[in-house]
Amino acid sequence: MSRNLTWKRTETPAAVNAMLDVLAEEYPIRENGEGVQLKFVQAGEPGILKMTPGAGSLTIKYGSLMTAGRGIGHALSGKCVEENVVFETLGIMLDCSRNAVMKTEYLKKWLRRLTLMGYNMVMLYCEDTYQLPDEPYFGFMRGGYSLEEMQDVDAYAARLGVEMVPCIQTLGHLEHMIRWHVYRNVTDTERVMMVDEEKTYALIEKMLQFWSSAFKSRRVHVGMDETHDLGRGRFMDKFGYERGFDLFNRHLDRVNQISKKFGYKPIIWSDMYFRMGNPDQNYYDPATVIPDDVKAKIPQDAELCYWDYYHRDEAFYSDWIQRHRDLGFEPLMGSGVWTWVCMWYDHEQTVATVTPCLSACRKAKVKDVFFTMWGDNGAYCEYDSSLAGLAWAADLSYGGGGSDDEVSPLFEAVCGGSYKDQLTACDMQPRIDWEDGKMRCFTSLMIWEDPMLGLYWREFRHFDENIWEFIRKELAGTREKLAGSVDNREAGDIGHAWNICDFLVKKIDFRSALLAAYEKRDRKALTELKDRGVPEVNAAMEKMAASFRRQWLKRNKPFGLEIMQVRFGGQIARYNEIAVRIDELLSGVVDSIPELEIKLDKPSGQIDCRYGRSISGCMI
């Protein structure tokens, strides 16, 4: 519950007045109204936030608009704090390219929340999800943003003191565009654009023109990451082999020159410089070598972004920050609040990787930090669940310890609902101890798992023979803990989280019973599975699909929902197929179900989170 706040316009700086006017659209903040009166005092140091209570008043001493916004967030929660953030930029990168494109009105809601948590920058990751003039197939049927939508969001964010930054792609990760034949002339491989092709640069100029008109910021992230097959497709067919380093630098120089036309200083993901320096194209290989002639040709106008969502030791981050500086560049740090390969925000992975990352950045005096929020393979995460992670990461960034007691009051005042419930739902992705750390039992893979083929039923046993008994117990426990909060949808939709756990418990129970009944040819048990088991698990799937649709359409444009509904519908079809096959077995039409006959004595633990590689032994 947020407490009532008031302020006097004539006694408040203009920029803070603008922020308060926007926040008052949603929160109990009223000019000359009832409640605790806010007073604002500008501090000399930009990272300062110091709150002092008075008689019916609260003075917020702030160093910048972002600390003023966080101070208002704390005021709503009833807390007085003294904090200091050393980062000049504290932002997020929101993935709007893996099918989910957030509606602009909902994005504004997120902007209000981010302001109250103390963030001051939002990157929108848009590969092709924006509308270019005379390019009807660019982002076709993908729900791309119009110029007017982005200009409106930018103006709204500016009133909150938040910088909107485009985060696009100008080399790789463009498979959604390249799929269309009209872009064959700018195609190298199925994901990478053709270097040295003038039509490529004409298209990139259109991209940068769009964002130059959309956002006032002169920062643009032009991507260029993970182009592993650069120069290995049509480019090689036409021109022969050329060293990847040289192609990459030449292309970056062209993109940099175009950027200058719009007053941009481009940012790129730095990984390809490190990847091309070792035979395995491993971003994090300590033995990687970047030749001196390559270093010398990196455009000095560009900025390098070091992304790392994986390492759990501070020393690695410190080393890699220094390696970027050895290249002659001050890096931006892209960490991760985990929203990918999971149906719900992954708190354990976030805490384990962000904590050492921020510590290293603080010691190395890195100034710009943001948290990526990817949506790989369908953006099926309940993105609002990540607000808990953003509240936690902000607390750590402002010098807090990230404890539940520290984070909960601000989160609940700003986002609503129970912080504890949000974190409890994170347990739907159980972990077991393994040789290289903790092995995550991906909820998404369990959902996609074909109920007859059981690919991951076998593969997960590589990690522990009794893993499914463990997973079932963990999911049932999480379901029970969430049962009393299923109507809470203020942040992450707890009812949806409960439905996910419920479906998976029923799915595991069904699979266990099916294997046991089939092995014994237990006609009574098989009949029970056909007549009652299949309808029960399908009903749970339909309930989960309905809550997925609910949370998706609340937040996103409808485009991309069809992909998830096809996946959910495929599960129902396959359970119906099991009922038919059992009936055929019992009636003597067939004498076996071949999919249930296959044995794998030594599973390798093969994990591939892509739907097309996890649903079947065949390719989709």
Output the pLDDT for position 439.
Answer: 86
Q: Is the pLDDT score of 454 beyond 90?
A: yes
| Strands laid side by side in the 57-62 sheet | 29-31, 5-7, 36-42, 57-62, 48-54, 82-84
- The secondary structure of 561-586, three-state, reads HHHHHHHHHHHHHHHHHHHHHHHHHH
Q: What is the pLDDT of residues 250-281, one digit of tens each?
A: 999 999 999 999 999 999 999 999 999 999 99
Q: Is the pLDDT score of 598 beyond 80?
A: yes
The segment(s) of the chain belonging to CATH 1.20.120.670 are 427-614
Q: What is the pLDDT of residues 69-110, one digit of tens each?
A: 999 999 999 999 999 999 999 999 999 999 999 999 999 999
Rounded mean pLDDT of the chain?
A: 97
Output the pLDDT for position 438.
Answer: 80
Predicted TM-score (pTM) of this structure: 0.97
The segment(s) of the chain belonging to CATH 3.20.20.80 are 89-415
Helix (H) or strand (E) run with residue 110 in it: helix 104-117
- CA dist., res. 587 & res. 67, Å (int): 71
Angle (nearest 5°) at CA 320 between 319 and 323: 90
**Helices 387-397 and 404-415 meet at what angle, rounded to 10?**
130
427-614 CATH fold: Four Helix Bundle (Hemerythrin (Met), subunit A) (1.20.120)
The full length of the chain comes to: 620
The upper half-sphere exposure of residue 512, i.e. CA atoms within 13 Å in the direction of its Cβ, equals: 13
Please, which pLDDT band fits residue 519 given cuts at 50, 70 and 90?
A: very high
Q: What is the pLDDT of residues 174-230, one digit of tens each?
A: 999 999 999 999 999 999 999 999 999 999 999 999 999 999 999 999 999 999 999
Output the pLDDT for position 228.
Answer: 96
Q: Which alpha helices (H) appear in 305-428, and where do they start and end?
A: 314-326, 347-364, 387-397, 404-415, 419-425
Confirm or reject CATH 3.40.50.300 for domain 89-415, answering yes or no: no
Residues 419 and 488 sit within 8 Å (Cβ to Cβ): no
Q: What is the pLDDT of residues 530-587, one digit of tens each?
A: 999 999 999 999 999 999 999 999 999 999 999 999 999 999 999 999 999 999 999 9
- CA dist., res. 280 & res. 144, Å (int): 35
Token duo for residue 548: 């997925």
Q: Which residues pair with 54 in a beta bridge?
A: 57
Percent of the chain with pLDDT over 70: 100
Output the pLDDT for position 37.
Answer: 98
Q: What is the pLDDT of residues 14-33, one digit of tens each?
A: 999 999 999 999 999 999 99
Which residues does 136 contact at the CB level (< 8 Å), separation at least 6? none
Buried b (16+ CB within 10 A) or exposed e, 1-20: ebeebbbeeeebeebbbbbb
- CA dist., res. 309 & res. 311, Å (int): 6
Question: What are the phi and psi torsion angles at 615 (to 5°)?
Answer: -85, -25
- CA dist., res. 568 & res. 541, Å (int): 7
Q: Where are the beta strands (DSSP E) in 280-367?
A: 303-307, 332-336
5-84 CATH fold: Double Stranded RNA Binding Domain (3.30.160)
Question: What are the phi and psi torsion angles at 85 (to 5°)?
Answer: -110, 130
Output the pLDDT for position 434.
Answer: 83
Which residues does 533 contact at the CB level (< 8 Å), separation at least 6? 510, 513, 514
Q: Is the pLDDT score of 1 beyond 80?
A: no
Which residues does 207 contact at the CB level (< 8 Å), separation at least 6? 132, 168, 170
Query: Strands 368-373 and 57-62: what pairing?
Result: unpaired
The segment(s) of the chain belonging to CATH 3.30.160.230 are 5-84
Place of tokens 């491989």: 189
- Euclidean distance between the first and final Cα of the chain, in Å? 48
